Amino acid sequence: MLKLLAMINTDHLINRFTRYVTIDTESDPTSDTTPSTKKQWDLANVLVKELKEIGMEEVTIDDHAYIMATLPSNLDIEVPTVGFISHFDTSPDFTGANVRPQIVKNYDGGDIMLNEKEGIVLSPKDFDDLLFYKGKTLITTDGTSLLGADDKAGIAEIVSAMEYLIQHPEIKHGKIRVGFTPDEEIGRGAHKFDVQKFGADWAYTMDGSQIGELEYENFNAAGAVVTIQGKIVHPGYAKGKMINSMYLATDYINSLPRMETPEHTEGRQGFFHLHQIKGTVDRTILQYIIRDHDREHFEARKSMMQELANELNAQYGTDRISVEIKDQYFNMREKIEPVMHIVSIAEEAMKKAGVKPIIKPIRGGTDGSQLSFMGLPCPNIFAGGHNFHGRFEYVPVESMQKAIEVIVNIAQLVAKQ
């Protein structure tokens, strides 16, 4: 295997990545369009142009901004077609507008001042993973936005790996397909992905976090909207008449298991996560996500939310609380286990790159979880970033370079096997 790390132009990679992250692509869970925001087209169109410029073939973008492209085989024999997939939207949990990436070279292991004016510091006291990257080059935010390494790092890695393979035709590989999707952050990234058109035997999402991550298990996931209807009356004449929906909402929130929330769980433990409240006296809406690796526990969590509404409605003597639950994706493990050789190939590719594989369940989801149930087995590989969805997000450049090397190694291993 080639030792690519020293061969990949660092400045070129940094420029490509920072170009992507400065384009705002935040998705919107309240929208019913695909993509959910028009601004996602801004990066999508840039990517289509760039894929053509580096020499990719069959570059297409459909009416919903799903991008696909082909790197043809340079072999005389037929081998499986492998795919690499990333998403270009960023999370609505924190603003993705006006991203101003900062480059920290030869990180010394200390505090990083993200924004002196606001006193925002990225510190290993809060995020001890930083200490893994002493001496490395980090790309951070300026403290006022997320970075967008989730998953523009993955896109930069895939494009860079394809560019490298095109520039080095002596590296033997089969047909490779790449795909870039909108709206992954709101659970709809694969909803309109055309698996048959993509035509890969299997694929990998480049959407993991720290270097070495290799994942083929993820949460079962659902979204829940709890609507509480109150009764608004002039407060001066409200006695015995007013029903404040926000107080009822508080009863509902406090009746769910307090320790089964993201901040109190880890590993395969599931949770209820209240991520948005919008309330007035007349009506309050609670937005929840429900997560669990175990399918039976997942179904029990959904039932609990509905049963709690029923109990409170009985207590209040009227149906003031309604719950709408929609499944988002399921644990891809059951679809990957019958084809575990694809995980083994990724594991070997990492070892060839000098990366220690970290095989663990995802406390989240990727496009790959939905794609696996759509007939495209799709484990997840690290993209290198940390602290996704917030102002403390960062990515080591060297981790991105290793991800590129892993992609190239996978292409070579599939060709050999």
User: Is the preceding omega at residue 76 within 30 degrees of 0, hence cis?
Assistant: no
User: What CA–CA distance (Å, rounded) separates 378 from 336?
Assistant: 7
Cis, peptide link before residue 169, omega less than 30° from 0: no
- CA-CA distances (angstroms) from residue 296 to 160, 220, 270? 41, 10, 11
Q: What's the farthest any 2 CA atoms get from each other in the chain?
A: 85
> Which listed residue (184, 207, 215, 398) is catalytic?
184
Q: Cα-flanking dihedrals φ and ψ of residue 46, to 5°? A: -65, -45
Look at residue 270 and give its three-state secondary structure.
coil
Of 161, 181, 197, the C-alpha closest to 86 is: 181
DSSP secondary structure letters along 95-108: --SS---EEE-S--
Rounded to the nearest angstrom, the gap between the alpha carbon of residue 234 and the centroid of all alpha carbons in its chain is: 46
Collapsing DSSP states into helix, strand and coil, what is residue 314?
A: helix
Q: How many residues does the chain have?
A: 417
Question: What is the C-alpha to C-alpha distance for residues 51 and 156, in angstroms, rounded to an integer?
Answer: 11
Residue 368 CB partners (closer than 8 Å, separation 6+): 85, 203, 204, 205, 207, 218, 332, 378, 379, 380
Q: Which of 24, 26, 28, 89 is catalytic?
A: 89
Q: Residues 290, 221: contact at Cβ < 8 Å?
A: yes
- Is 184 noted as a catalytic residue in this protein? yes
Known catalytic membership, residue 299: no
- The residues that bridge with 86 in the sheet, in sequence order, are 180
Helix then strand then coil, in percent of the chain rounded to 5, is 35, 25, 40
11: part of which helix (H) or strand (E)? helix 10-21
Query: Contacts by 22-25 with C-beta closer than 8 Å and gap 24+?
Result: 22/99, 22/100, 22/101, 24/90, 24/96, 24/97, 24/98, 24/99, 25/88, 25/89, 25/90, 25/96, 25/148, 25/182
- Confirm if 178 and 82 have CB atoms less than 8 A apart: no
Catalytic positions, please? 89, 184
